Amino acid sequence: MSWLQAPKANQAPGKRPRRDPEKSAASKLDYETKRKRNFLPSWTEKFPWLRYTEEAGEEYMMYCSTCRSLPDIADTLVVPLIHCLTLLPLLSRIHISCTVKAVWKDYPALARQFKTAADDTSSRSDTERQKFRGLHKLLTSTGFLADLATMKDVLRELKSLSLKLQRRETSLVDASCYIQQTIDVLTAMKISGAKSTQKVEEGIATGMFKDVELSESRPKINRLQFYQSIIDSLKKRLPEPDLVRMLKPLDKRFWPEQRSALILYGENEARALAKVLGEPAREAIEEFRDYKLENKSLGKALQKLQTASKTFLPTSAECERGFSAVNSTDTDKRNKLREKSLFSHLFVDINGPPLEQFDPQPFLRSWIKAGHKPSTSWVPGPKAKKKPPRSLWSLLHLHSTDSAKSLIVNRNFATHPDHLP
């Protein structure tokens, strides 16, 4: 064993040998290089557009590697770019949407900064100037700009879809409609191009984009193939069609407008859903007819079907909210909470109203009426024993009798002038 060996000459007895910082940094660099070498090629072969993201991460990682680059451009760049530039080249560390949006918005400022740094011979070395010259060439190329516009258009639609699916009121039927709508939008964008792509095409035709001169190069992303890959991925994430088909008749938005078509609409789906949930099918169909034709309230069986339809969650956002509540509630400082108390805390945290709308007075009254004491009703710790100063009181009584009597008389006279002693 290494810890049984005798200490070296420059090592104090009983202490571990100190690691060489240069060897540690070199081994860490080798590990990151091997990890990147083993991880990225397999994915970039399947998805060529990931090469663009990896190059963007390396580009901005090198750009913000020194702090002196940021103050020079802080007045011309918006704050989100300062946060987004602190990226690592690994794909898992890159926030693609934030990066693309920041580069698109501050494209002229970035090009001007790269050009200034490339021509700075007084404070930068030849290696740094060469790197910034390469960054400027890549940023002002038409291929990079076309890839940037494609990524921006797609990420805008995917971000909007993600926010819709994470809402608490989104049902499984709503999620299916949102995903299908996004698929239709991306299909149209694939053919005609979106807003950012059209702007870039106009700039490439004139050779200028946002007052920055462009150089000719080929884009690395096949736009049609990229759009089709996103569309195929979304189609695989559509909810189960049979389940959505059974849940649609319970939503009034999908009812036909003509009464003749509404008479038998959705009865087969309601019967199938009732059988799946173990409810009486005939009773559910009769209540469904009264609900859609006579505009009556939901019956007992149909109410159960309606409630069960809301339990089908389209995403895991609600589970993630629950895990977040567990992490914020069950902490090391609260490790003495009982299981029942912890469950009550989580229930209020997940399902309760916001803090500014919460009225604690009814719960506080019930807590005190149950025999519990408020936390301010006692002072923690041992009580201090105070000895009353009786000797001082007696001394004041002996020497101040006359003055005390005069004070009492004056006070009584000021209060009741008609009653004199």
321 domain-assigned:
yes
9 domain-assigned:
no
End residue of a domain, out of 195, 222, 239: 239
Same structural domain for residues 76 and 127? Answer: yes
285 and 267 Cβ atoms separated by less than 8 Å? yes
Same structural domain for residues 46 and 127? Answer: yes
Same structural domain for residues 40 and 107? Answer: yes
Tokens 């970039």 correspond to 44
End residue of a domain, out of 329, 350, 371: 350
Q: Which domain holds residue 320?
A: 316-350
Per-residue confidence (pLDDT) for residue 120, from 0 to 100: 87
Q: What is the CA radius of gyration of the chain?
A: 37
405 domain-assigned:
no
Closest-CA residue to 193 (of 140, 152, 143, 139): 152
Per-residue confidence (pLDDT) for residue 184, from 0 to 100: 92
Question: For residue range 350-390, what is the model confidence (pLDDT) as tens digits?
Answer: 888 888 888 888 888 888 888 776 666 666 666 666 666 66
pLDDT beyond 90 at 185: yes
pLDDT beyond 60 at 237: yes
Same structural domain for residues 42 and 135? Answer: yes
Same structural domain for residues 127 and 42? Answer: yes
Per-residue confidence (pLDDT) for residue 187, from 0 to 100: 92
Alpha carbon distances (Å) from 51 to 101, 146, 153, 277, 315: 18, 14, 18, 48, 29
Same structural domain for residues 75 and 160? Answer: no
Helix-helix angle 195-206:142-165, to 10 degrees: 170
Per-residue confidence (pLDDT) for residue 79, from 0 to 100: 38
173 domain-assigned:
yes
Highest average pLDDT, of 7-16, 74-83, 119-128, 335-344, comes from 119-128
Same structural domain for residues 95 and 110? Answer: yes
> For the chain, what is the mean pLDDT?
73
83 domain-assigned:
yes
Same structural domain for residues 191 and 125? Answer: no
End residue of a domain, out of 205, 239, 273: 239
Per-residue confidence (pLDDT) for residue 390, from 0 to 100: 66
399 domain-assigned:
no
Same structural domain for residues 302 and 344? Answer: no
Same structural domain for residues 231 and 284? Answer: no
Domain total of the chain: 4
pLDDT beyond 50 at 240: yes
Per-residue confidence (pLDDT) for residue 293, from 0 to 100: 86
Question: For residue range 267-293, what is the model confidence (pLDDT) as tens digits?
Answer: 888 888 888 888 888 988 888 888 888
Tokens 């920055």 correspond to 212
CA angle in degrees (0–180, nearest 5) for 49-53-59: 140
229 domain-assigned:
yes
Question: Residue 42 has which token pair?
Answer: 């397999």
| Residue 118 vs residue 77, higher pLDDT | 118
Same structural domain for residues 87 and 116? Answer: yes
Question: For residue range 308-337, what is the model confidence (pLDDT) as tens digits?
Answer: 888 887 888 888 888 888 888 877 776 677
16 domain-assigned:
no
Per-residue confidence (pLDDT) for residue 247, from 0 to 100: 86
Question: For residue range 23-47, what is the model confidence (pLDDT) as tens digits?
Answer: 554 554 454 454 444 444 443 443 3
Closest-CA residue to 347 (of 359, 357, 339, 336): 339
Same structural domain for residues 234 and 246? Answer: no
3-state secondary structure 134-191: HHHHHHCEHHHHHHHHHHHHHHHHHHHHHHHHCCCCCCHHHHHHHHHHHHHHHHHHHH
